[in-house]
């Protein structure tokens, strides 16, 4: 009996820690969870676009890091008095760098038939090591004490939405991108080409006269640009400097975000918030209740498995699941 009670007690304490770490206090919500949901949303939207086109971009993490590097370089070089143009320049640099990093995989895919799943994963490692090198070498802060860069110019920083919190203007960008991507996929001819190529490259090519390889290459580039943008937003909105482990695996969690959202850009807003809540809540559990934060990873994985399981029964249409061999749908 006593053991049971104490367990129940512990359980309540753990839930409380989770709640206070994620949504329960305004500082957790506005400075932790929502801030974390921003890169998850933006990379998640990019992953959704690529997956919709049938390109499995697993390299969001690397593209995000390259975006962060580019934003840091521009941010360090910018003079303090350039105004809003500074922000735009910095973010654009991040997006371009992310697109370029994804572009390597796009070229490998279209020229040499290298699977983007492999190349983008590999490029993640290259990007992580590149960051390690830069923050210990060419970009290290002037005193050469810490493995990080100097702080970027004030002109390159995103404004905060509320002064007491860390919530920055990036959340508006994330919401806009999610809506814009949904509009693009459902309303524009180019978006419909993306969906058609993802659903059936042969039908898109033969019946629609669509150049499938150029559509997939562009989807991969845009997906990389979004991840790069997320990296630059992280630098200009949160860290103001580049260092190792700048991203706690945003690029990977974003794949979970996209899959949970069934590749729907609007649903990504919700699933990004869910995953961010799980992650910040788990950190709270670790901090205040001593529960290992890997529990969050387990929960994330379970959520994805459940969604994939449900998808399997209702037959959602991603190319992951090959069209079932329908033996004689006709008689």
> What residue ranges bind other proteins (CB under 8 A)?
186-189, 191-193, 195-196, 199-200, 202-211, 317, 323, 325-331
State which residue, 252 or 318, has the beta carbon closest to other proteins: 318
Least separation, in Å, of the C-beta of 308 and other proteins? 17
Least separation, in Å, of the C-beta of 86 and other proteins? 33
Least separation, in Å, of the C-beta of 216 and other proteins? 14
**Containing H/E element for 197?**
helix 189-199
Beta bridge partners of 160: 168
Please name the residues in contact with 133: beta carbons below 8 A apart, sequence gap of 6 or more: none
* Residue 105, both tokens: 């995989």
Cα–Cα dist 308/303, whole Å: 9
State which residue, 35 or 212, has the beta carbon closest to other proteins: 212
Beta bridge partners of 243: 148
State which residue, 80 or 202, has the beta carbon closest to other proteins: 202
Length of the chain: 331
State which residue, 84 or 189, has the beta carbon closest to other proteins: 189
Q: Give the closest residue to 44 by CA, choosing from 196, 191, 178, 234.
A: 178
Least separation, in Å, of the C-beta of 331 and other proteins? 3
Least separation, in Å, of the C-beta of 324 and other proteins? 11
Least separation, in Å, of the C-beta of 317 and other proteins? 4
CB atoms within 10 A of CB 328: 5
State which residue, 203 or 306, has the beta carbon closest to other proteins: 203
Least separation, in Å, of the C-beta of 200 and other proteins? 5
Q: Give the closest residue to 217 by CA, choosing from 109, 93, 95.
A: 109
* Residue 251, both tokens: 């690029």
Instruction: Please check whether residue 234 is in contact with residue 41, taking contact to mean a CB–CB distance below 8 angstroms.
Output: no
Cα–Cα dist 96/71, whole Å: 10
Helix 212-234 crosses helix 84-112 at what angle (to 10 degrees)?
140
Least separation, in Å, of the C-beta of 209 and other proteins? 4
State which residue, 1 or 327, has the beta carbon closest to other proteins: 327
Q: Position of tokens 């512990």?
A: 10
Beta bridge partners of 168: 160
State which residue, 130 or 199, has the beta carbon closest to other proteins: 199
Instruction: Please check whether residue 227 is in contact with residue 67, taking contact to mean a CB–CB distance below 8 angstroms.
Output: yes
State which residue, 121 or 199, has the beta carbon closest to other proteins: 199
* Residue 125, both tokens: 């490692």
When computed from its CA atoms, the radius of gyration of the chain, rounded to whole angstroms, is 21
């Amino acid at each position: 009996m006593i053991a049971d009670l104490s367990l129940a007690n512990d359980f309540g304490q753990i839930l409380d820690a989770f709640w206070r770490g994620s949504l329960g206090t305004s500082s957790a919500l506005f400075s932790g969870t929502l801030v974390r949901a921003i890169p998850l949303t933006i990379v998640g939207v990019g992953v959704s676009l690529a997956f919709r086109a049938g390109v499995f971009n697993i390299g969001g993490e690397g593209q995000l890091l390259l975006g962060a590097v580019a934003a840091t370089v521009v941010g360090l070089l910018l003079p303090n008095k350039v105004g809003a143009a500074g922000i735009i320049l910095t973010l654009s640099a991040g997006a371009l760098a992310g697109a370029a990093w994804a572009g390597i995989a796009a070229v490998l895919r279209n020229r040499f038939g290298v699977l983007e799943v492999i190349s983008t994963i590999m490029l993640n490692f290259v990007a992580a090591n590149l960051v390690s090198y830069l923050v210990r070498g060419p970009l290290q802060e002037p005193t050469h004490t810490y493995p990080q860069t100097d702080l970027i110019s004030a002109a390159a920083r995103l404004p905060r939405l509320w002064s007491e919190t860390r919530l920055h203007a990036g959340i508006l960008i994330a919401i806009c991108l999610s809506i814009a991507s949904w509009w693009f996929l459902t309303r524009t001819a180019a978006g419909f080409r993306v969906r058609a190529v993802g659903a059936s490259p042969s039908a898109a090519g033969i019946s629609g006269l669509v150049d499938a390889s150029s559509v997939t290459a562009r989807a991969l580039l845009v997906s990389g640009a979004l991840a790069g943008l997320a990296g630059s937003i992280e630098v200009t909105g949160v860290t103001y400097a580049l260092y190792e482990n700048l991203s706690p695996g945003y690029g990977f969690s974003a794949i979970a975000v996209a899959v949970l959202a069934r590749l729907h850009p609007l649903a990504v807003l919700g699933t990004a918030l869910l995953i961010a809540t799980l992650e910040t809540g788990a950190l709270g559990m670790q901090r205040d209740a001593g529960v290992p934060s890997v529990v969050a990873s387990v929960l994330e994985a379970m959520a994805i498995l459940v969604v994939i399981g449900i998808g399997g029964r209702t037959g959602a249409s991603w190319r992951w699941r090959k069209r079932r061999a329908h033996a004689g749908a006709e008689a």
